[in-house]
Amino acid sequence: MEQLVIERNWAGNHTYRARVIAHPSSVEELQELVASSARIRALGSRHSFNDIADTAGTLAVLSGLDAEISVDAGNMTVTVSGGTRYGTLAAELQSQGFALHNLASLPHISVAGAVSTATHGSGDSNGNLATAVAALDIVTADGTILSARRGDPYFDGMVVGLGALGIISRLTLDIQPTFQVSQSVFERLDWDQVLENFDEVTAAAYSVSLFTDWGGKTVGQAWIKSRAGDRELAQSPAAFFGGTPAPRAMHPLPGVSGSNCTQQLGIPGAWAERLAHFRMEFTPSKGDELQSEYLIPREHAVEAMRTMRRLSDVVTPLLLVSEIRTIEADKLWMSPNYRRDGIGLHFTWRQDEPAVRAVLRLLEAELEPFAARPHWGKLFEAGAASLAPLYPRFGDFIALADRLDPAGKFRNSFLDLTVFGD
């Protein structure tokens, strides 16, 4: 079960410090591993760009746990192991006639990892992926399983748990009947029109993403995902806020083939093959990149975007691309969208970490008036003293972690810096 090995994250910018990387083949093995370890964390798809998933002790890889996907059609839920990837889950649900409410841009990420960090897709009325969690099992510090379901005390504090409460072994998610989505891409939208009509832009479809480098007079691309039966974009319009329909499949990154991306050109198909930006069978995006994201309250969206455009001389040279998405408010304590609708300002950077971190310090200072909350799984500079005032339940979460893990078995340098303030 154990393996001494040097491992790196997906982007290659972080080498895991763990002494041992273990691959438990059952929940029982995972329980034994947790109980016998002094320090332990779970390692998912390795798509975190910081050290949130690291530890000086043992890393537990969950992909070997029971991979059964169990649909409960009566309660409209599905139960999966924590290491299941969204692409695998989506394909199985679609084959049985069901769907999730949304997907992130990458289907390759693990369910537990995405939920624990409040990873999200886009859509004015779509909560992040963690909002679909109806129940979960967590292996706690002594190796026992703590089961909780929506409505239980502390459940809202446990879902986006940052790995600080234990290791999620199993989750139950809300599902719905399958649905069709058509995806269209528009190029070179007029920035002035987008800013003046931002609510109309993001309300144009079930999911809308804007891709930009923040410079110039145009937004590079708009990815419009329209759900069948909802108010849909008119077929093949000549313009979308100044943008024109892309004549071929596009990739968010300039100069990269769109063949690795999900079906576009307005051709309808299953949600599982359209809501993510990238196809499961291809390597997503570019591995030699870094990522950051800041979640801004919806009422500050336009002002925050104007601020980013003002900083383009500093930001654009380091960027591969930036994405703007919208996310509905939720009530999960450590979610960046706790109690507020918002937009995500996502940055895909060139792999120059010292230069990126210098720009992040500037960005966080400039975005501070907008109460920007960083994505937990991506690069940011803020520590616990800066983050605590942004989360009304921050202190309650620390108290919950202290109760469930009094010895700090699941803590690491990332949590000490960003949550516990050690």
Write out pLDDT tens, residues 75-113: 999 999 999 999 999 999 999 999 999 999 999 999 999
**Backbone dihedral angles phi then psi of residue 292, each to the nearest 5 degrees:** -140, 160
Contact 375, 344 (CB under 8 A): yes
**Average pLDDT in the chain:** 93
Partnered with residue 266 across adjacent β-strands are none
Predicted pLDDT of residue 6: 54
| pLDDT exceeds cutoff 90 at 73 | yes
Predicted pLDDT of residue 115: 98
Tell me how far apart the alpha carbons of residues 11 and 209 are, in angstroms, rounded to a whole number.
Answer: 23
3-class state of residue 314 by DSSP: helix
In the chain, domain spans: 2-61, 70-178, 180-374
Predicted pLDDT of residue 362: 97
Q: Report pLDDT digits (tens) over 171-199.
A: 999 999 999 999 999 999 999 999 999 99
pLDDT band with cut points at 50, 70 and 90 for residue 237: low
Quote the strand ranges of 268-404, DSSP E: 269-270, 289-297, 319-327, 342-350, 373-374
Long-range contacts of 68-73 (CB under 8 A, 24+ apart): 69/93, 71/96, 71/98, 71/175, 73/98
Predicted pLDDT of residue 325: 98
**What distance lies between CA 288 and its chain's CA centroid?**
19
Quote the strand ranges of 228-318, DSSP E: 244-245, 269-270, 289-297
Which CATH number, 3.30.70.2520, 1.10.760.10, 3.40.980.10, 3.20.20.450, labels domain 180-374?
Answer: 3.30.70.2520
- The conformation of residue 152, written as its DSSP 8-state character, comes to S
Maximum CA extent, the chain? 63
Predicted pLDDT of residue 3: 47
Q: What's the pTM value of the predicted model, to 2 decimals?
A: 0.95
**What distance lies between CA 386 and its chain's CA centroid?**
21
Q: Report pLDDT digits (tens) over 25-66.
A: 999 999 999 999 999 999 988 888 899 999 999 999 998 887
The amino acid present at 186, given as its one-letter code, is F
More confident residue, 43 or 148: 148
Give the mean model confidence (pLDDT) for residues 338-367.
Answer: 97
Token pair 């964390």 is at which residue?
41
| pLDDT exceeds cutoff 90 at 155 | yes
H or E stretch at 79: strand 77-81
Predicted pLDDT of residue 290: 95
Predicted pLDDT of residue 19: 87
Contact 283, 234 (CB under 8 A): no
More confident residue, 255 or 278: 278
| pLDDT exceeds cutoff 70 at 231 | no
Predicted pLDDT of residue 218: 97
pLDDT band with cut points at 50, 70 and 90 for residue 234: very low
3-class state of residue 358 by DSSP: helix
Predicted pLDDT of residue 1: 52
Contact 237, 273 (CB under 8 A): no
3-class state of residue 391 by DSSP: coil
Lowest mean pLDDT among 155-159, 252-256, 266-270, 302-306: 252-256
DSSP, residue by residue, 28-75: HHHHHHHHH-SSEEEE-SS--SSSTT--SSEEEE-TTS----EEETTT
pLDDT band with cut points at 50, 70 and 90 for residue 4: very low
User: What CATH architecture applies to the domain 70-178?
Assistant: 2-Layer Sandwich (3.30)
Predicted pLDDT of residue 395: 98
Contact 184, 266 (CB under 8 A): yes
Residue 203: which residues within 8 A CB-CB, separation 6 or more? Answer: 124
Contact 322, 348 (CB under 8 A): yes
Contact 342, 83 (CB under 8 A): no
Predicted pLDDT of residue 49: 87
The amino acid present at 130, given as its one-letter code, is A
Predicted pLDDT of residue 65: 86
User: Nearest CA to 169 among 178, 161, 179, 181?
Assistant: 161
Predicted pLDDT of residue 373: 98
Give the mean model confidence (pLDDT) for residues 317-344.
Answer: 98
The amino acid present at 213, given as its one-letter code, is D
| pLDDT exceeds cutoff 80 at 329 | yes
Strands 40-43 and 58-61: parallel
Token pair 């409505």 is at which residue?
151
Q: CA quadruple 60, 63, 66, 69: dihedral positive or negative?
A: positive
Tell me how far apart the alpha carbons of residues 165 and 147 are, in angstroms, rounded to a whole number.
Answer: 12
Partnered with residue 218 across adjacent β-strands are 190
| pLDDT exceeds cutoff 70 at 320 | yes
pLDDT band with cut points at 50, 70 and 90 for residue 229: confident
pLDDT band with cut points at 50, 70 and 90 for residue 2: very low
CATH topology of domain 2-61: 3.30.43
Give the mean model confidence (pLDDT) for residues 274-284.
Answer: 85
Quote the strand ranges of 198-351, DSSP E: 207-212, 218-227, 244-245, 269-270, 289-297, 319-327, 342-350
Token pair 């399958």 is at which residue?
178
Quote the strand ranges of 328-390, DSSP E: 342-350, 373-374
The fraction of the chain above a pLDDT of 70, given in percent, is 95
Contact 345, 373 (CB under 8 A): no
pLDDT band with cut points at 50, 70 and 90 for residue 257: confident
Predicted pLDDT of residue 285: 57
Contact 315, 216 (CB under 8 A): no
The amino acid present at 113, given as its one-letter code, is G
**Backbone dihedral angles phi then psi of residue 282, each to the nearest 5 degrees:** -115, 155
Q: Report pLDDT digits (tens) over 361-396.
A: 999 999 999 999 999 999 999 999 999 999 999 999
Predicted pLDDT of residue 283: 65
